[in-house]
Each structure stands twice: as C-alpha cells, then as structure tokens.
Chain A
Amino acid sequence: MKRTARFSAAAAVITIAGILVWGAVGVSLGDDLLKIGAPVAATGPTAREGVLTKQGYDLWAETVNTRGGIKAGGKAYKVQIVYYDDQSKPQTSAELTERLISQDRVSFLLGPYGSPATFADEAIAEKHKMPIVITEGAADQLFQQGYKYNFGITSPASDYAAVMLKLAVALKPKPETVAIISADDLFSIEVGNAAKSWADHNGLRVVYFQKYPVGAADLSAALTSIRSQRPDVLISSGHLEDSLLVMKQAQTLDVNVKFYGFTVGPTTPDFVKALGPAAEYVFASSQWSADVTYRDGIFGSAKDYNKLFQLRYGFEPDYHAAQATAGGLALQLAIEKAGTLDPQKVRDALAGLDVMTFYGPIRFNAHGLNLSKPMVTMQIQHGRLVTVWPFDVAPAKPIYPAPAWSARR
C-alpha cells in the first residue's frame, strides 16, 4: 500500500511539473538570446483567455525570429519566451514572476492574463526595476500605484462600458433604463462602476446594479430580479464563463432586453460556438477588431494580422490575442529604439514611445497608461462578429432592438 501512495504522489508531482512549464517558443542554439518571461494562465477560470494571450505572444516571437530577431547595439537577439502557468491565481502569478526574474534571469516581462494577476506581478517587476508590458490588464487601479516600470497597451477599463453605452444611446428607440451586473474582480467592478457613472451622467436610469462572485455557478436569482425591472439595456461585466452563463440563463428565464452588452466573452471564438443562435444580437466592447484601419511595418494592417493569425492557428484572432502580439511589438520597438537591453534605458524608451501599430496607436502617459487608442463595439450578426461602432470604421449597421426570445423560434 505504501508503494501505491508513493506512486500517486509521484504522478501528482509529474503532472504539476508538466503544467508548470507549458511550452516555450523553440529557438536554435548559437543565437544571441533575449529571454522574456510571461506567467500566463493555462488552467483555472481564465485559462481560455490565457491561451489566447499565449498564442498572441507566440505569434509575435515567431514573427520576430523569422525576421532575424530584435536588433539592438549592432546585435540581433532571438526571442525566447519563458512561460509558466499561473493557474489564474494572482498569488501564484506573483511567485512565478519572482522566479522568472531571479531564477530564469529573464530580461523583460510580458504581462499575465487579467487585472488581478497583473496587479500582483507589476509590484514584483517594480521591486526589481524590470519593465513589464501589460497586455491583458485594463483596470485603472493598475496604473495608480505610482510605479515606473509598468506599461499597459490596452484602453482603460472605463472605456469598455462607455463604448457600448455611447452606441446604445445613439440607437432608436433610445433606451432609457439599464441593468448592470459585474463579476467581483478588480477589472469587472471598475467597468461596472464606470457603466453606472456614465449612465448617471447621460440620462440613463440604472434599475439594477449588483456584483456576483467570480466563477458563480448559477445566476438565476440575479436574472430574475433583472427581469422584474424590465430594463432596456443589460450591461454584463465579467469574463467568458460568466458571460455564457448570463446569456444562457437570460434565455431560459425569458429575460428580454433590447440591448445585451458584454465586456469580455462574445469576442472569443467559444461564445458563438457554445450558444449557437442564442448568441445572436449580442453587443460586445472590444479593444480591437480586424476592421480598424491601423497598420505598422512589421505586421502590416489589422487585416494582414488577422490573416497571419488565422494561417497560424486556424481561427480568427480576437482582441486578447491581438493585444498580446501588440505588447510584444511595443517591447521590441522600445528595445530597438533604446539600442540596448539595459532595463533602465528600455524603460525610458517605453516611456517615450509614440508609435502606430496594427493594433492602434501606442503612447503611454505618465502613469504608463495608453489613452491614445479608441475601443470599438462589435455585434454578433448571423453567427459572425462584426464591428458596428464607431460608425465611421464600422462595415455593418447595428441590429436593434433585439427581438424577444419568444419571437426568435
């Protein structure tokens, strides 16, 4: 019996070791190497988004390496990204960041998925004076710590709410009431609060405003309350798993609103796949879409990036993947501008960066926040995501109001 216990312990250890190091971009020996660390979730509630992040990073690294690497000080460095699975846990993410810096001796960091993990990791980066390019953390709080080494390329959390509500009030008949529900995490709460404040200042009446725990198994009570308030607009601020649950239960509990707006979820490929026709008419705020008209010298236009990603992975990228790639690109451009791997000089180059990329303009303010890039609103129409706002870049018109569930059969 002892042997069995030992066997199971060994099996557990092997499994843990296996999931800890979940892949690194292959680099041939003999090149000058630039090691970059990234603690990204492969398991836990945000594993799906974590995988998209990793795919975005990998695509950047592969593209740089096939083009000869990052050029700095007369040398070309091949990029090697060292990944660890932070299990969607901020505490684990911080420990892995510490390990990447002190044991793996990485030169720079690319951020984890999600604001809570980013919040933990950026503190470690700051302690070691190591630049971290934040790609998947949009909470405003991340940039209010007085740190000098964190640079976030996404538009801030408050934009997620505003971009959808701005569209909503531009539609006819003009909505008057809104229900807001958010997951209880740093980012989602900020979005929820921003939605409430935007609504309050722009004549939309907030009839329901609640939080739910991250990874909630059942939200039928919340949706029952929302149903009784008959709002015109529903803003749901959570992550993919939550968004699926809200939409499924809205359908089965016959909750009818004119505008279903989600922050995270509908732009990932799983959303339409999992919900089928029930995903129709859903609006989502998005950091990026292939319809935007930006371009750069490495990835070309947003459409070119879209094609490249599809060629590599077999499906269209959403903004999670695009901003991961763009984060790598921002780091690359800063290193090349600095002409050295010296962390202090690269930090200064990041701080002074002002570039256009396929993802949009990247220019950081004094807090390390990129305020120069607008967001877009997308809608699921006939099973596909199309950009519907801002109207001047949008190839499709929004469909509104969404028909009642009883009229959809």
Chain B
Amino acid sequence: MIFNTDVALQNAVNGLLIGGTYATVSLGFSLVWGILNIVNLAHGAFVMLGAYETYWLFTLYHVDPLASLPLTAAALFAFAYPIQRYVINLVIRASFLVTFLLTFGLELLITNIALAAWTADIRSVTTVYSGRSLLLGPVVLPLVRVATFAVAVAVAILLHLLLTRTRLGSAIRATASDQEAARLMGIPIAHVYALTFGIAAATAAIAGGLISLSFPIYPAMDAGYTFIGFVVCALGGLGSVPGALLGGVILGLLQTYTAAWLGPNYDNLVAFAVLILILLLRPAGLLGRVQRFRG
C-alpha cells in the first residue's frame, strides 16, 4: 500500500476521468433498460462499432477522432433504429427472457461479423496529441482523457435536456410511464421505441469513439462494456441521466482507490461488495425511483 497526498490526488483525477467514460457507456444502456425495459446485451457491441468507426475514419481518411463523433453517432443511430423498429419491437411484449436472448443473439452476430471483417488484431487510435498531458503541480492531466470527460458531460447534459425539455423527450417519458395512455394520446409507440433505442446506440457510439482514443480496441472488447453498463445502472439507478453520471464516477473512483490502496487485483472485488451493499440498502440505485412493476 502506497499512500501520500500527491498519489491520492492523482487517483482522484484518474477515477473521475475513467468514471466519465463509464458514464457515457452507461447512458444508453440505462435509457433502454429504464424506458424500454430491455436489458440490451448488444450495448457493448454498439460501443465496439463506434470505436471501430472512429478508428477507420481516422486511419483511412485522417478524420480527427473527436470531430468524427457526430458522424459516428449518426451512423449508429441509423443502424440501431431499424433493429428496434423491425426486430426487437416484434417481441417487446413477450417475456423479459425473450428480449434478453434476442439481444444476446444480436451481440454474437455483431461481434462475430466484426471479427470476420476486421480480424482479432488489437488496434488503437494514436493521434499526434494522444500522449500529451498537462502538469498541474503534482497532478498529471492526460489531455485526451480530459477531453473525453468533457465530451461525456456534454453528452449527458444534452441527453438530459432532450429527455426533459423537448416534445420527443416528453413522448419517450410518457411511453415509459404508461404505454396505453401514451398510445391513446396519439404517440406512435413503435416509432418512439425505435428512436429511444437509436439515441441509446448513438451515445454508445460516442462512448466507443472516446474509448478508442485511450484504450486498445478489438471485436471482443464489447462484453466488458456491457458489464460496466450493468453495474453503473445498478449503482446509479435506471433510466436517469444523473444516475448514470453518478454511478459511473462512483465506480471509477472505487476501482481506482481500491487499486491504489489494496492492489489492482482487488478493484472489482471492492466495487462489487459496494454494489451488493447498495442493492441491499437501495434496490433502485442511488438516484433511482422504485420502478412500477411491469408484467
């Protein structure tokens, strides 16, 4: 165990920065779970696709990874909308297990196509500014990670505004709270569901683009990120943007401090002990409301 204030401070920065990435990964997962009541096991695969799209745009056409984010997001929206509209919508009223299996199949399909198309090579987006960092007294601020965090917060704020301040947001929330009433009000349910799913995939794509800047990417990277989405949702609460942000940052800080104080091998052990504790004390997550049971 190594303890001094400089290290503790640096780890606060490390935890916060990785927490921002976790939050971006989880936003869409939380949205789909909270509103569509689908645990989307293909969410990590969307993150992976976003990472690869950023990688290819950068490698083939020299598009800056941060500049290509809107394009990547739009592409994944276009990819995911029909999946929800014409595939998942068909079984959305079936039992939870059916959608669970369907998204699992999607995940297998997407990652194996990615594996066939792009091979198992481990890649990385390395820009001229990738390795740069700012020295702030004893603390190192990796530039890319700071930019990633800023984008993460911006995406969270935009999504929150979209959900709370727009007609589309009202429609999405109305559909979530009472599907029948929403239908009677003339809200096109299937369309709204597909839009929600598409928006979730777009945020996943942004997460993937951001991840490709700091971490190695490969087709099988998806499972780890689906898992993070799961944990962050359980920590922060479902379907809530502030919940995903809070959950992401808590998970990031917990893992970082555990790794620093007990050793990197224990970070998940402690993170999950805390997760179980929260599930026992606040089953709906820190910021979640207890959900109405939907049969």
B98 CB contacts on chain A under 8 angstroms: 5
Q: Is the CB of B90 within 8 A of A4?
A: yes
Is the CB of A44 closer than 8 A to any CB of chain B? yes
**Chain B residues within 8 Å of A1, by CB:** 90-91, 93-94
Q: Which B residue sits closest to A212, measured CB to CB?
A: B264
Closest chain B CB from A10 CB (angstroms)? 9
Pair A274/B126 contact, Cβ less than 8 Å: yes
Which residues from 243 to 301 on chain A have a C-beta closer than 8 Å to any C-beta of chain B? 244-245, 248, 251-254, 270, 273-276, 278
Enumerate chain B residues within 8 angstroms of A47, measured Cβ to Cβ: 115, 120, 218-220
Q: A15-B109, A222-B259, A241-B216 are in contact. Are A273 and B120 (CB under 8 A)?
A: no
Binds A, one of B1-9, B62-70, B187-195: B1-9
Which of B7, B108, B220, B257 lies in contact with A15, CB distance below 8 A? B108
Question: With A8-B101, A210-B264, A241-B216 given, is the CB distance from A270 to B123 under 8 Å?
Answer: yes
Chain B positions within 8 Å of A208 at CB level: 2
Q: Does B53 interact with chain A (Cβ within 8 Å)?
A: no
Most A Cβ at <10 Å: residue of B124, B258, B268:
B124
Looking at the complex, which one of B106, B120, B215, B228 makes contact with A8 (CB distance below 8 Å)?
A: B106
- Please state if A4 and B140 are interface contacts (CB–CB under 8 Å): no
Check B171 for interface membership: any CB of A closer than 8 A: no
Q: What's the least CB distance linking B80 to chain A, in Å?
A: 16
The residues in A between 318 and 354 inclusive whose CB is less than 8 angstroms from any CB of B are: none
Q: Does B87 make an interface contact (CB < 8 A)? A: yes
User: A9-51: which residues lie under 8 A (CB-CB) from chain B?
Assistant: 9, 11-12, 15-16, 18-19, 42-45, 47-48, 50-51
> Could you say which of A92-100, A213-221, A385-393 contacts chain B?
A213-221
Decide yes or no: A254 and B140 within 8 Å by CB, A4-B91, A212-B264, A225-B2 being known contacts: yes
Q: Are B119 and A213 in contact (CB under 8 A)?
A: no
B264–A252 contact, CB under 8 A? no
- Give the size range of B's interface with the partner: 35 or more
Beyond A43-B120, A220-B14, whether A9 also contacts B105 by CB under 8 A is yes
Cα distance, A274 to B245, chains bound together (Å): 30
Describe B's contact surface by its main secondary structure. Answer: helix
Bound: A273/B132 CA distance, A: 19
Q: Digit string of B243-277 for contact with A (CB within 8 Å is 1, else 0)?
A: 00000000010011111100111011000000000
Q: Are A244 and B133 in contact (CB under 8 A)?
A: no
On whether the beta carbons of B2 and A229 are closer than 8 Å, the reply is yes
Q: Does A144 contact B (CB under 8 A)?
A: no
CA distance A48 to B135 in the complex (A): 36
CB within 8 A of A210: which of B228, B256, B265? B265
User: CA–CA, A366 to B282, complex, Å?
Assistant: 59
A184 within 8 A of B: yes
A244 touching B264 by the CB < 8 A rule? no
The smallest C-beta distance from A251 to any residue of chain B, in angstroms, reads 4
Residues facing B in A218-250 (CB within 8 A) are: 218-222, 224-225, 227-229, 240-241, 244-245, 248
Chain B residues whose CB sits within 8 angstroms of the CB of A210 once the complex forms:
263-265
Q: At the interface, yes or no: B214 with Cβ under 8 Å from chain A?
A: yes
A218 contacts B18, CB within 8 Å? yes
Instruction: Convert A132-169 into 0s and 1s, putting 1 for each residue whose CB lies closer than 8 angstroms to a CB of B.
Output: 00000000000000000000000000000000000000
Bound CA span A19–B109, Å: 11
Max chain A C-beta neighbours (<10 A), residue from B109, B112, B252, B255: B112
The answer to whether A270 and B121 touch across the interface, beta carbons within 8 angstroms, is: yes
Using CB atoms, name the residue of chain A closest to B126.
A276
- Residue of B14, B218, B264 with most chain A CB atoms under a 10 A cut-off: B264
The docked-state distance in angstroms from the alpha carbon of A51 to that of B115 is: 12
Size category, A interface: 35 or more
Contact status of A251 and B220, CB under 8 A, knowing A212-B264, A219-B264 = no
Partner among A11, A19, A45, A224 whose Cβ is within 8 Å of the Cβ of B10:
A224
Q: Are B123 and A274 in contact (CB under 8 A)?
A: yes
Per the bound structure, the CA–CA distance linking A215 and B106 in Å amounts to 23
Let me know if B104 and A211 touch, CB within 8 A. no
Q: A38-75: contact bitstring with B at CB < 8 Å (1 yes, 0 no)?
A: 00001111011011000000000000000000000000
Residue B102 CB within 8 A of the other chain: yes
A198 interfacial contact with B, CB 8 Å: no
A77 at interface by CB-CB < 8 Å: no
User: Cα distance A252–B106 when bound, in Å?
Assistant: 35
Instruction: Please name the residue on chain A nearest to B134 by beta carbon.
Output: A254
A248 touches B214 (CB 8 A): yes
Residues of B within 8 A of A248 (CB): 124, 130-131, 214-216
Q: Judging by beta carbons under 8 Å apart, are B120 and A252 in contact?
A: no
Q: Given A241-B216, A248-B124, A253-B142, A225 and B119 touching (CB < 8 A)?
A: no
Could you list 6 further interchain pairs (A-B, Cβ under 8 angstroms) beyond the known A16-B108, A45-B220, A251-B131? A9-B105, A12-B105, A47-B115, A218-B18, A221-B258, A224-B14
* B→A interface (CB under 8 Å): 2, 4, 6-7, 10-11, 14-15, 17-18, 87, 90-91, 93-94, 98, 101-102, 104-106, 108-109, 111-112, 115, 119-124, 126, 130-133, 135, 140, 142-145, 214-216, 218-220, 224, 228, 252, 255-260, 263-265, 267-268
21 CB contacts below 8 A, A to B, read A1-B93, A1-B94, A4-B87, A4-B91, A5-B98, A11-B109, A12-B108, A47-B218, A184-B265, A211-B263, A211-B265, A221-B258, A222-B260, A222-B264, A244-B122, A244-B216, A252-B142, A252-B144, A253-B133, A278-B126, A278-B131
